[in-house]
Structures are given as C-alpha cells and as structure tokens.
C-alpha cells in the first residue's frame, strides 16, 4: 500500500511538472510579496488568475493560481499565474526556461530559521518569508542605467531622442505592472491618440494570452503548407539574460515570427532545444495533429539566414542532422533513396547576414558626427 501511494504521488507530481507557456504573459516583477494570508488574498484578487483559467491548458483541477516567487538567480520577486507545484524543502522560483515553478536548489529553506517543511504547495510561499529575504540586488538598478543614457544624450542635440520615444524606452525596460498602462498611453501618444480609459492588469494578461494563442494558431495553419522557407535566427543578451529569436520567410517574402525565448546558454545545442520547444508549442495549437505540424514546418525549411558567429555555424550543422532524422516521417520513400538522393533532400542552404558590419560602421560614424556638433 505504501509503495502504491508513493507511485501515485510521483505520477501526480510528474504530471503537474509540465511546462506552461500560458504563464509567461502573466509574469510581472514586484518590489515585495505578500507577507500573510490577508495580503496574499488581496494580491491574488488583483492578479485575477481565475479569469485566465479557461484560456490555459496547463492544469485541469483549478490549480492555475496566483504565485509570488523568486525570479532567476534570486535577483527579483515576481508575480505569476501558474499551476501549483509541491516544493521539496526549497524556496519556490519561476523558471522562464522551463516555464513553470521549480525548486531553487541554492535556497534550502528547511535550514532557515524558522524552517519550512520538506513538502509544501508553491502558492503558500508567503508563509516562508525567509525565502524573500535572500534577494540578491544587482550592482546598478535599471533606472540608474536608463537615466545615465538619457543624461548622456542630453548634451547632443542631433542625437537626442524625442521625449515620448525616450519615455517609452524607459517603460519597455521597466516591466512592473504599474507601467503597463503608461506604456499603452505612450504608444498611443506616438500615433497622436489619447485613450479615454485603460484596461485592467487582468484584462491585459488575458489579451496577451489570447494574442499568443491566436498567433500560434495562425502559424499552425499557415506554415505547414509553405514550401522552401528560410529560417532566420539571432540571439542577444539583455541584463545578463540570453534570448533567441526565430522567424520564417516564405517564397513570396511573407515574414512569420515563430517566437522569442530565453535560452540557458548561447550554445548551438541550447539554440536547437529552444527551437524545438517553439515548434512543439505551435503543434500544440491543434491537439489532433500532435507534433506533425512542427515536423512539417521544420522539414519545409530549405535555407537558413544568420550572422557568422561560431555558434550559428554549429547550429546550422546540428539542425541539418536533426532535420534528416525527421524526413522519413514525411517522405515514405526517403530510406529507399541512395546517399546522393538523401543528401540532396536533406541539404540546407546557409546564408549569412552582413548587417553587423554596416551597423558598427554607422555607430562609429554617428559618434564622431555627434562629437563634431558639440
């Protein structure tokens, strides 16, 4: 009986550990988390995760609820709507890479004073305030960096941004909830419009999830039928976090954004794993087709476009190898082809962008022109 209970508990835990893409749009950085049940109820009401319940497919037992947990590397606190995860004696953290609540292995809260239990639900993290006290503040705040840039530009008339553009730049970097309304106002100001009212935070979260669902549905319907497509890839780092961007262009020149995701590293394998996750999400837009849509999209890629970074060169190699393992699922006679035939079908044409060189030259020229005009 004990063994059966352990197995059942393990199955429940593993089932609930699946990633939840619908949680990502609900993430917002906050200065503090609730310190008691009353504050938790109030914060949960404002976040209104229950309104998003019918738009998510991560949880079927109403466990898609409000959380206030640690962000990556315990540098900030964040609010997020996510399925409940039973912690194993560690502080709760939301992983943008895994897209779910995880145990923070660096923070064993059973050793804190007072200690946490060896098992507790993630949405009750407010009961263990010592987890929040271990926030590692960055050496310089984002607002300080923004102000420095703004002040630095103020002495260069030709280089200075317009007021509302500069304001929007600050709001894009500052991701706290209370900036979303101001961001909408500033964007409308750029178009010469002024809103008579602004959506609530929960409405914005619902709109964001619906936007993602509609976007993935469009990709799932349009891309499998597109032949001879070109995959565009790029990566960048912002405030120490690495991101990878993926998009496709068809033969008519139409451009489709597949996704922008946080990556564990800049390695070629990490890039491929991130690309696979994006294709899985697109396939998941239609449960009846399982993962065939993602395979069709991948096998229809004939060209790649990227910069000349060593990781991109390696990514092109392992992408071609991975694609070759999937081709037999779409082409029944693939294994009957000779080596030359297989090579012709599986070969990817690699193109490289020279924009970085032009961009660096432009930046250097702009700097000298600004100095000459001082």
Taking only the tens place, the pLDDT of each residue in 323-335 is 888 888 877 787 8
Question: In terms of domains, do 281 and 224 share one?
Answer: yes
- Domains identified in the chain, total number: 3
Which of 4-8, 114-118, 194-198 comes out lowest in average pLDDT?
4-8
Q: pTM of the entire structure?
A: 0.54
Greatest mean pLDDT among 149-153, 203-207, 294-298: 294-298
pLDDT band with cut points at 50, 70 and 90 for residue 161: very low
Question: In terms of domains, do 268 and 226 share one?
Answer: yes
11 assigned to some structural domain: no
Q: Coil, strand or helix: which one is 256?
A: strand
CB 85 within 8 A of CB 92: yes
Question: In terms of domains, do 130 and 147 share one?
Answer: no
364 assigned to some structural domain: no
Question: In terms of domains, do 124 and 151 share one?
Answer: no
Question: In terms of domains, do 154 and 279 share one?
Answer: no
Question: In terms of domains, do 235 and 302 share one?
Answer: yes
Question: In terms of domains, do 220 and 354 share one?
Answer: yes
8 assigned to some structural domain: no
The pLDDT, as a whole number, for residue 171 is 41
51 assigned to some structural domain: yes
248 assigned to some structural domain: yes
Q: Identify the burial level of 253 via C-beta atoms within 10 angstroms of its C-beta, where 0-12 means exposed, 13-18 middle and 19 or more buried.
A: exposed
* Among 108, 134, 160, residue at a domain's last position: 134
The pLDDT, as a whole number, for residue 291 is 62
Query: What is the sign of the dihedral through the CA atoms of 264, 101, 182 and 142?
Result: negative
371 assigned to some structural domain: no
- What does the pLDDT average to over 86-110? 91
Question: In terms of domains, do 29 and 91 share one?
Answer: yes
Taking only the tens place, the pLDDT of each residue in 241-267 is 788 899 999 988 899 999 888 887 888
Question: In terms of domains, do 56 and 129 share one?
Answer: yes
Q: Is the pLDDT of residue 140 over 50?
A: no
Question: In terms of domains, do 192 and 227 share one?
Answer: no
Instruction: Give residue 67's domain range.
Output: 16-134
């Amino acid at each position: 009986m004990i063994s059966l209970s352990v197995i059942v508990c393990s199955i429940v835990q593993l089932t609930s550990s699946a990633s939840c893409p619908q949680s990502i749009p609900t993430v917002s950085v906050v200065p503090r988390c609730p310190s008691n049940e009353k504050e938790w109820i109030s914060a949960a009401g404002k976040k209104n995760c229950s309104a998003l319940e019918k738009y998510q497919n991560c949880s079927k037992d109403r466990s898609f609820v409000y959380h206030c947990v640690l962000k990556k590397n315990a540098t900030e606190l964040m609010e997020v709507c996510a399925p409940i995860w039973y912690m194993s004696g560690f502080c709760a953290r939301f992983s943008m890479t895994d897209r779910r609540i995880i145990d923070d292995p660096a923070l064993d809260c059973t050793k804190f004073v007072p200690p946490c239990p060896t098992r507790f639900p993630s949405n009750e993290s407010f009961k263990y305030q010592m987890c929040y006290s271990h926030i590692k503040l960055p050496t310089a705040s984002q607002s300080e960096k923004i102000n420095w840039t703004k002040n630095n530009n103020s002495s260069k008339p030709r280089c200075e941004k317009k007021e509302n553009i500069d304001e929007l730049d600050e709001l894009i970097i500052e991701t706290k909830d209370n900036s979303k309304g101001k961001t909408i106002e500033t964007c409308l100001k750029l178009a010469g419009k002024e809103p008579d009212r602004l959506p609530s935070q929960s409405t914005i979260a619902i709109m964001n999830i619906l936007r993602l669902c509609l976007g993935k549905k469009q990709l799932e319907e349009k891309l499998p039928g597109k032949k001879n497509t070109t995959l565009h890839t790029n990566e960048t780092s912002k405030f120490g976090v690495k991101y990878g961007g993926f998009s496709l262009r068809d033969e008519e020149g139409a451009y489709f954004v597949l996704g922008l995701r946080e990556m564990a590293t800049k390695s070629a394998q990490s890039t491929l794993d991130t690309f696979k996750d994006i294709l899985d999400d697109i396939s998941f837009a239609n449960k009846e087709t399982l993962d065939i849509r993602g395979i069709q999209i991948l096998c229809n890629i004939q060209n790649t476009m990227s910069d000349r970074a060593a990781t991109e060169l390696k990514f092109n190699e392992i992408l071609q190898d991975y694609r070759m393992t999937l081709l037999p699922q779409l082409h029944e006679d693939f294994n009957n082809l000779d080596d030359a035939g297989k090579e012709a079908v599986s070969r990817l044409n690699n193109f490289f962008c020279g924009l970085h060189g032009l961009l660096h030259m432009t930046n250097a020229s702009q700097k000298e022109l600004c100095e000459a005009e001082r």
